[in-house]
Amino acid sequence: MASTQNTRGTRRKKTLIKKAHELGKFFGFEVALVIRKQGKITTYQSIDHESWWPTKAEMVGEFAYPIPEKLLPRDLEK
C-alpha cells in the first residue's frame, strides 16, 4: 500500500510541476512552486532569476538539510 501511495504521489508531483511549467510558458504567469515531503524540498520557478523567491539560501536557511531540488523551464523541455 505504501508503495502504491508513493508512486501516486510521485506522479502527482510530476503532473503539478508540468502544469506550473505550462502556466509560465503558454500563459505568461510567473510561477513559483514549492513541494516539501519528509524534509525534501523541490522548487520550480518559471523565470530564471536568482533574486526571485525562493532562493536556495532562503530555503536552506529555513528548512536546513537536504538542499532543495530546483527546477526551471529548461529542465522540463529536455
Predicted confidence (pLDDT) per residue in 5-51, tens digit: 788 989 999 999 999 999 999 998 888 898 888 888 888 888 887 66
Which residue's C-alpha cell is 532562493?
Answer: 55
Nearest of 59, 31, 78 to residue 69 by alpha carbon: 59
What CATH architecture is 2-76? Answer: 3-Layer(aba) Sandwich (3.40)
Query: What is the reported pTM?
Result: 0.64
